[in-house]
Structure 1
Amino acid sequence: MISQYKELKDLRNRIVLISGGSSGLGKEMAYEVARKGAIVVICARQMDKLLEVKETCQRLSGRLAYAMECDVSDPVQIEQMVETVESSIGSIDVLINNAGFGLMENALTFDMNIAEKMIRVNLLGLIYMTQNVALNMANRKCGVIVNIASVAGKIATPKSAIYSATKFGVLGYSNALRLELKPLGIKVMTVNPGPIDTNFFKIADKKGEYLKNIGSMLMNPSHVAQIVVKNISTSRREINLPYYMEIAHLGYTIFPKMGDLLAGTVFNKK
């Protein structure tokens, strides 16, 4: 099994599928795997942006790259897209589930239509995508699945109830999935980033207050992408960024009452 993971240390000519690959962290991860010589397949809803990323990936890798229009909230589109990739491009070696969005609003007044959409994109879409890809990986006894979750899936704060629920779900699903797929030679890794300097906040933080309060804490998406891609070939099961969040989560687990106090006051920047 370890030798199967080692086969992916060299990403040259490996097919890497990234959802939400048209912007932000998804785009930067696409560029990073392209630099490693991978055959990049990116999917999202906005084809114009996807095509721009695709062209850059081809320049970086010197190989063909592919842009696939897909709404991950639609299981039919996911199934059709994965089937097209597997039959027309080749076997998917690495899946990076990155698509998702958030919205900072009070739980009691949250628009439930948006809540259902968020759950369908952030959690159910990831599950559908994973199942479709992992079935093929299981037949080959090899593959890597990277699920982009969030620090909000480890430590919840006010005005993030729905978003945190989706990311807690991603972590629970990933932890069980890891155990199920390990005997099949498939690695599952979760990534829990804190705030990243991307367009995510144009939707999530409409008032702009959160960004003003945490401006100095924003992580560079390119740097995060480098860390994620570097660990695709390792045995690492989880990445928490910035790294001090691992200590914060440990403290929250050991001292939950103090954790609630800090999460509702000191760490509440919304």
Structure 2
Amino acid sequence: MNERVKGKKILITGASSGIGQYLAIHAAQQGGVPILVARSTDRLAIISEKIKHSFGVTCYWYEADLSNDAEWKDVIDRICYDHGSIDALVNNAGMAVFDLVADAKWQDIDRMLSVNVKSLFRTTHQLLPHFLQQGRGHIVNIASQAGKMATPKSAIYSATKHAVLGFTNGLRMEVEKKGIYVTSVNLGPVRTNFFQQADPSGNYEKAMDRIMLDPNHVAYKVINSLFTRQREINLPAWMDSGSKFYSLAPELMEKVMQRQFNRK
């Protein structure tokens, strides 16, 4: 059990599957109190019951569509009313539809912006006064290596993650002397159902199969870093190295990696 996490209330969005469900499990395993948010009430109820049975921890859950700002604002208010204070926020919810910009449907673009960016801003903006009043807290934003290195068919998705990184970096500097930690988690492809919507053809998932990250391992790393001063978590390490090289020589990287970049 992790003494830093023990007894802490941890709000996790996008918690009904993938990384989110493992975040809940590891938070409970370390003695934390998970507060889960997602659209799938059936999945949330199952995860909550499993956590209670396995770890003897009460796991709270709330239904919300994070693309609906008014609904999500009301749910956050209810969470704050029910629990008084939150110790950590993990902005994990995210979605993508991989497509050429010229072929993209506006409703897909709008939903990516709403879920990946606007809801993350909303949650953080609404909870930040509580953290500041407490003089402590941890905000973890699940970003992406795509936020550092864009590729074809992910221009919109990459833009949303660029926004998350910019927001996270600026926020970190604003609150670093006020007892609040802010961490970005920049991931390569993770073995979840994310790609069922992002790329229904399955081509990208098949091409990336050998290098996909394990969501359980990702969640463990995130929960283990809570309430520590960690600027970024970058996985896998080799992809992070590629992102750094890209920032130094983008034209060369785009030329050398053209085939890999076009695998979607």
State whether TM-score is above 0.5.
Answer: yes
Aligned counterparts of 1:253 and 1:185: Cα–Cα separation in 2: 31
Shift of 1:244: 1.3
Task: Report the secondary structure of 1:87's partner residue.
Answer: helix
Deviation by residue 1:36-93 (Cα, 9 ceiling, x = unmatched)? 1111100011111111111122234312111101111222222222222222223110
Residue 113 of structure 2: aligned partner: 119
Residue 128 of structure 1: aligned partner: 122
Aligned counterparts of 1:145 and 1:177: Cα–Cα separation in 2: 10
Residue 3 of structure 1: aligned partner: none
Residue 80 of structure 1: aligned partner: 74
Segments of structure 1 that go 5 or more residues without pairing to the other structure are 1-7
Q: TM-score, normalised by structure 1?
A: 0.93
Residue 175 of structure 1: aligned partner: 169
Aligned residues: 263
Question: 5 Å matches for 1:194-205?
Answer: 194-205=188-199
Letter in 1 for 2:176: K
Counterpart pick for 1:243 among 237, 241, 252: 237
Deviation by residue 1:132-161 (Cα, 9 ceiling, x = unmatched)? 111111111100000001111111111101
1:213 aligns with 2:207: yes
1:105 aligns with 2:99: yes
Task: Report the secondary structure of 1:67's partner residue.
Answer: strand
The 8 Å contact of residues 95 and 146 in structure 1, kept in 2 or not, is answered as yes
Letter in 1 for 2:26: E
User: Which is worse superposed, 241-250 or 15-24?
Assistant: 241-250
Residue 193 of structure 1: aligned partner: 187
The 8 Å contact of residues 157 and 264 in structure 1, kept in 2 or not, is answered as no
Counterpart pick for 1:150 among 144, 147, 150: 144
Q: TM-score, normalised by structure 2?
A: 0.96
User: Which is worse superposed, 252-261 or 154-163?
Assistant: 252-261
The 8 Å contact of residues 142 and 184 in structure 2, kept in 1 or not, is answered as yes
Shift of 1:15: 0.3
Residue 27 of structure 2: aligned partner: 33
Residue 10 of structure 1: aligned partner: 4
Segments of structure 2 that go 5 or more residues without pairing to the other structure are none
From the superposition, tell whether residues 124 and 262 of structure 1 become closer, same or farther in structure 2 (CA, over 3 Å). farther
Residue 227 of structure 1: aligned partner: 221
Deviation by residue 1:7-48 (Cα, 9 ceiling, x = unmatched)? x95211110000000001111111110101111100011111
Deviation by residue 1:197-234 (Cα, 9 ceiling, x = unmatched)? 10001101111111111110111110111111111132
1:89 aligns with 2:89: no
Letter in 2 for 1:71: D
Indicate the percent of aligned positions where both proteins have the same amino acid.
37
Letter in 2 for 1:176: G
Letter in 1 for 2:236: P
Counterpart pick for 1:50 among 26, 39, 44: 44
Aligned counterparts of 1:259 and 1:31: Cα–Cα separation in 2: 38
User: Which is worse superposed, 158-167 or 73-82?
Assistant: 73-82
Task: Report the secondary structure of 2:260's partner residue.
Answer: coil
Counterpart pick for 2:262 among 250, 262, 268: 268
